[in-house]
Chain A
Amino acid sequence: GQNIDQPTEMTATEGAIVQINCTYQTSGFNGLFWYQQHAGEAPTFLSYNVLDGLEEKGRFSSFLSRSKGYSYLLLKELQMKDSASYLCAVKYGAGSYQLTFGKGTKLSVIP
């Protein structure tokens, strides 16, 4: 199978920085996505990486190392509203039309 691993839960303090890691099998890799999902709501797209390096978008950044099969999502200046699950998803195969998701990391932001 194409396992995607990420921590189950994390806790961080309001105003701090948190890094959520994701590792995946590299064979057939064709892009990595991060989604945010608040409890009881649908996932929403955060970022997309297909080349190595850091993509910054406001308080959120995503990093990719294709050779290591590794990505992380960096959240800065944490706010209470950032409490949510963060899903890492990988597209395998150039002609593939499906995403393989990790089980998600539940982030709790505390005062």
Chain B
Amino acid sequence: KAGVTQTPRYLIKTRGQQVTLSCSPISGHRSVSWYQQTPGQGLQFLFEYFSETQRNKGNFPGRFSGRQFSNSRSEMNVSTLELGDSALYLCASSPLPGNYNEQFFGPGTRLTVL
């Protein structure tokens, strides 16, 4: 069974631009969560999607948004990029929401904002 895949793996953008990251969950997994990981703050929850609906949202500004498609694939978008948005963005999938015992992380997208 293929794991969680994220594209692109690396991205360089400049301040003010916007970016879209993609996540394909494990086959059969319907819940997708997004996290931001930085050296200073660690791993922080962004949002979680299930059945194309955002079920939970972390404490991030409205510049961070996401969506989920009917095939459970998910995208997250960051608009008006700031230097502080440079981070590793991780996507994780699980069969159902809150099913963390069976949650698997993707390899992440490394975003650098210049």
Task: Using known A-B contacts A97-B48, A102-B42, determine if residue A45 contacts B90 with beta carbons closer than 8 Å.
Answer: no
Are A31 and B42 CB-contacts (below 8 A) given A41-B107, A97-B48, A98-B48? no
Type the 1/0 row for A72-98, where 1 means its CB is closer than 8 Å to any CB of B.
000000000000000101010000111
User: Contacts A42-B90, A43-B105, A87-B43 hold; do A99 and B56 have CB atoms under 8 A apart?
Assistant: no
Interface presence of A44 (CB below 8 A): yes
Number of chain B residues whose Cβ lies closer than 8 Å to a Cβ of chain A: 25
Q: A-contacting residues of B (Cβ < 8 Å)?
A: 4, 31, 33, 35, 41-45, 48, 50, 55-56, 58, 90, 97-98, 100-101, 103-108
Q: Which residues of A are in contact with B by a Cβ distance under 8 Å?
A: 31, 33, 41-45, 48, 87, 89, 91, 96-104
